[in-house]
Amino acid sequence: MSSVIISPSILSADFANLERDILSVKDGGAKWLHIDVMDGHFVPNITIGVPVVKSLRAVTDLVLDVHLMIENPEKYVEPFVKAGADLLTVHYEATGKNTQKVIDLIKSYGIMAGLSIKPKTKPEEIEKFISIADLILVMTVEPGFGGQKFMQDCADKLPYIKQRQADGQYLQVDGGINDVTGKYCVKKGANNLVAGNYIFNSDDIKGRIDSLTF
């Protein structure tokens, strides 16, 4: 049994058939579901918000892994918790000096708190939060869109973070993950893989999930 968690990103699912697509990743063995929230400010795209998370919560028991690519994420922690998120990941580039406060706020609701870094952010900048956050997300593309090319130099940040994490903490990668790039990330210390295009742009969703189960 693999210890790597697969979190399919519904950004690449059919938004008119979300329940159907979620059932297929669950049938394929996924335990988590990655939900990309974008505000058109932190990233140049707008996607999913609180009402969609609430609707998904009503139809699935998968772990709802909510990736907030938004400015002022602290304003939206409570609404996303109430909608049913199990994990809220915020960006260090959006929280800056308030990072500790935002992590504490998320944890105060009894859910998992994640902290993410964009490609240009060095892992040293978040050193003091590595042991505090439940999950660190290393972006391997510039956040904003699915289907982009994996940036290998971003994955080379993984060992620095892994060395500073305890057992039970998650090290997630997101962007351009497939069977080859995913394997590279797992070798470097990742234990949690987000994949959108690779999983949903296939007629064999189970096969794609299996191929990431290292």
Which residues belong to the active site? 36, 174
DSSP one-letter string for 91-158: EHHHHGGGHHHHHHHHHHTTSEEEEEE-TTS-GGGGGGGTTTSSEEEEESS-TT-SSPPP-HHHHTTH
Task: Report the relative pairing of strands 63-69 and 87-91 from DSSP bridges.
Answer: parallel
Question: Where do contacts with ligand DX5 occur on this chain (CB under 6 A)?
Answer: 9, 11-12, 34, 36, 67, 141, 143-148, 174-177, 194-198
Nearer to ligand DX5, 164 or 206 (CB): 206
Q: How far is the CB of 43 from ligand DX5 (least distance, A)?
A: 7
39 binds Zn ion (CB under 5 A): no
Q: Does 157 bind Zn ion (CB under 5 A)?
A: no
Pick one of ligand DX5, Zn ion, none as the site partner of residue 147 (Cβ within 5 to 8 A by kind).
ligand DX5
Shortest spacing between CB 143 and Zn ion, in angstroms:
7
How far is Cα 153 from Cα 21, in angstroms, rounded to an integer?
A: 32
In the complex, what is the shortest distance from the CB of residue 150 to ligand DX5, in angstroms, rounded to a whole number?
8
Give dist(CA 146, CA 197) in Å, integer: 6
Residues 68 and 115: their CA atoms lie apart, in Å, by 10
Q: Which of 76, 97, 72 is nearest to 85 (CA)?
A: 76
| Nearer to ligand DX5 (CB atom), residue 93 or residue 164 | 93
Nearest residue (CB) to ligand DX5, 101 versus 180: 180
The residues binding Zn ion (CB under 5 A) are 36, 67, 174
